């Protein structure tokens, strides 16, 4: 199959990227990050989550952040919700889309939320019914689709099982997520094929972590199948909690560089994203986890110094 001519990028840095940061990030910084991403042309930005601050203290200011961002028509501002209380927060914050989630690994589901996969999805039934009643789009995420820190390998059939349950629940778009970054291209295609048994190609996306350096290869494998939607995180924000010291989400800058080289349109300003990645990494006091971004920034630095 020919590669897609256009790819839809969901920028997850503000939510998935920042949620595990130990230092508390001021709401003003989060707002500025979202506003900069809006200006760079992202069609969909995952802003925050409405979860208990006891479990994710970094996202406790979700309502404030949603209330302060400068929204642009045509851009989808998403929030993650775990339950009806979270949905009520999302509704009050005027989110355009909610994100619900389930694991493809029974071991992961029981270890993290103390219930089976089927039970975890059933908990989202009232959430999805309420979202449909209020006209909110519902996006789902299948975590540990390519590997689990507790059970190891995850079979494609398990991905298909969760995709089927989410489809029955009314989830309109499904993301296949390599939570621990162990997936390789062939395994990625098998997982995607399992999800495609229940969702159309335009309603599936890939979410890859770069723990083992396979994220870009896995994205290319998806592109070969016709998958044209991916989650990425500016500056590679978001470490992998199951692999100490490892990078987490694939860096938006690296994905944009790949897609530009393939002649695939995203509608996103690559240079602007590089600047955003360098800025937020400076705020966090570390170097960005974006090889293409760091390379371009290094190349641009001498020119900027000479101009000054």
* Model pLDDT for residues 247-271, shown as the tens digit of each residue: 789 999 999 999 999 999 999 999 9
| Percentage of the chain exceeding pLDDT 70 | 95
| Percentage of the chain exceeding pLDDT 90 | 89
Helical segments of the chain, H only: 27-40, 62-68, 84-92, 106-113, 117-122, 125-133, 156-169, 185-196, 215-225, 252-261, 270-284, 291-307
pLDDT at 24: 95
Cα–Cα dist 9/63, whole Å: 24
Mean pLDDT score, 110-131: 93
Say whether 148 is catalytic: no
The residue from 128, 148, 222, 240 that is catalytic is 240
């Amino acid at each position: 199959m020919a590669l897609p001519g256009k790819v839809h990028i969901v920028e997850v840095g503000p939510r998935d990227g920042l949620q595990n940061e130990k230092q508390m990030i001021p709401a003003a910084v989060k707002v500025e990050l979202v506003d900069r991403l809006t200006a760079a042309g992202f069609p969909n930005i995952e802003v925050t989550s409405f979860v208990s601050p006891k479990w994710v203290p970094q996202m406790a200011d979700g309502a404030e952040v949603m209330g302060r961002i400068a929204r642009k028509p045509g851009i989808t501002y998403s929030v993650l919700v775990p339950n009806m209380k979270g949905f009520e927060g999302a509704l009050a914050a005027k989110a355009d889309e909610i994100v619900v989630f389930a694991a493809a690994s029974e071991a992961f589901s029981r270890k993290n939320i103390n219930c089976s996969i089927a039970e975890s999805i059933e908990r989202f039934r009232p959430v999805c019914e309420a979202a449909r009643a209020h006209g909110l789009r519902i996006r789902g995420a299948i975590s540990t689709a390519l590997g689990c820190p507790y059970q190891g390998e995850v079979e494609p059939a398990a991905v298909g099982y969760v995709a089927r349950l989410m489809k029955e629940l009314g989830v309109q778009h499904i993301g296949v997520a390599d939570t621990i970054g162990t997936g390789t291209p062939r395994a990625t295609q098998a997982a995607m094929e399992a999800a495609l048994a229940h969702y159309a190609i335009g309603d599936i996306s890939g979410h890859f972590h770069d723990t083992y350096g396979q994220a870009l290869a896995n994205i290319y494998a998806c592109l070969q199948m016709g998958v044209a939607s991916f989650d990425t995180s500016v500056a590679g924000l978001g470490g992998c909690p199951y692999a100490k010291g490892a990078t987490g989400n694939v860096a938006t800058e690296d994905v944009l560089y790949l897609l530009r080289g393939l002649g695939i349109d995203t509608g996103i300003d690559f240079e602007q994203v590089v600047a955003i990645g360098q800025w937020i990494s400076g705020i966090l006091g570390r170097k960005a986890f974006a090889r293409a971004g760091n390379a371009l920034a290094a190349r641009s630095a001498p020119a900027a110094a000479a101009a000054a």
